């Protein structure tokens, strides 16, 4: 079994260390989630990313409890859904209970949901949760520059991360540069483009894969890691989980990195933050 110790960590502005490569359970059905997370932990993942709206927090917690992995070796993230922004502390308590944990390592506002205009109120609640120690770090997801700036202007704690759609065709350079200027780390969701375009067939990717004896997916994951992104590809298949984890024995050259970076085309494959409420 690969060692989880090979995964590099990133230091968040809270002082916490987060494994740069994790495992996501977006769209993992509840009846499969326990088995899937168990497989991921056995492969070597120690960073698990879930959310209240995924409907699988309980099963994620069951897999963690049964794994025998010490809690202090795990990094667990969950998220606040949009309709609970005005009752964030209660929603957090419910997530913690479903997970069966005393604390989470990272708690995120899932979307800014700007038409609700309650994300600042929600962030103030997350600040209280962080002060209580029940969330070791707090952050946001799908926030754009204007949403981050408002938090800077109206609240006290700078988010530890901004988790955003990010893959070679859609790199969100304006958001990422702004966030990093303010000490916010970037987490990339949909790091392989969710299979919604031919990313893994593009010559910039396949030529690097051939050169290193790796798969196209491994090359894209490596591009993210070398670009400084925190990522958590999702799979329900143990073999693919292991493949996605096997990315620490090679490095892309500067030319290979630049070629993949040049694939940017504004190719968002999922919802815009302005449209999610």
Q: Single out the residue of 17, 1, 57 nearest to residue 9, CA to CA.
A: 17
**89 with 125: CB under 8 angstroms?**
yes
Task: Give the helix/strand (H/E) hosting 94.
Answer: helix 88-99
Return d(Cα 1, Cα 20) in angstroms, integer.
19
Catalytic annotation present for 119: no
**20 with 42: CB under 8 angstroms?**
no
The β-bridge partners of 162 are: 140, 186
β-strands 104-109, 75-80 pairing: parallel
Which residue out of 45, 54, 107, 119 is catalytically annotated? 54
The distance of Cα 101 from the centroid of its chain, to the nearest Å, equals 19
- Sign of the Cα pseudo-torsion (186, 187, 191, 197, in order): negative
Q: Using CB atoms within 10 Å of the CB of residue 31, give its burial: 0 to 12 exposed, 13 to 18 middle, 19+ buried.
A: exposed
User: What is the SS3 assignment for 268?
Assistant: coil
- Sign of the Cα pseudo-torsion (162, 224, 167, 1, in order): negative
Which active-site residues does the annotation give? 54
């Amino acid at each position: 079994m690969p060692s989880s110790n090979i995964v590099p960590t990133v230091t968040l502005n809270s002082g916490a260390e987060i494994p740069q490569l994790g495992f996501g359970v977006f769209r993992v059905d509840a009846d499969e989630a326990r088995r899937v997370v168990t497989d991921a932990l056995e492969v070597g993942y120690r960073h698990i990313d879930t959310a209240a709206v995924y409907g699988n927090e309980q099963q994620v917690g069951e897999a963690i409890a049964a794994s025998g992995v010490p809690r202090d070796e795990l990094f667990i993230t969950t998220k606040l859904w949009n309709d609970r922004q005005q009752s964030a502390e209660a929603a957090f308590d419910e997530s913690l209970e479903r997970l069966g944990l005393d604390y989470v390592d990272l708690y995120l506002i899932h979307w800014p949901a700007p038409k609700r205009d309650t994300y600042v109120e929600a962030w103030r609640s997350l600040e209280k949760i962080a002060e209580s120690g029940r969330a070791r770090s707090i952050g946001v997801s799908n926030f754009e520059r204007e949403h981050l700036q408002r938090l800077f202007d109206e609240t006290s704690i700078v988010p530890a991360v901004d988790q955003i759609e990010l893959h070679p065709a859609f790199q969100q350079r304006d958001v990422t540069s702004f966030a990093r200027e303010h000490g916010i780390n970037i987490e990339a969701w949909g790091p392989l483009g969710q299979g919604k375009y031919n990313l893994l067939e593009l010559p910039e990717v396949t030529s690097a894969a051939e050169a290193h004896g790796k798969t196209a997916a491994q090359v894209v994951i490596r591009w993210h890691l070398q670009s400084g992104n925190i990522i958590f590809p999702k799979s329900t298949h143990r073999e693919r989980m292991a493949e996605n984890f096997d990315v620490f024995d090679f490095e892309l050259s500067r030319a290979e990195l630049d070629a993949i970076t040049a694939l940017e085309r504004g190719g968002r494959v999922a919802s815009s933050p302005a449209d999610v409420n």
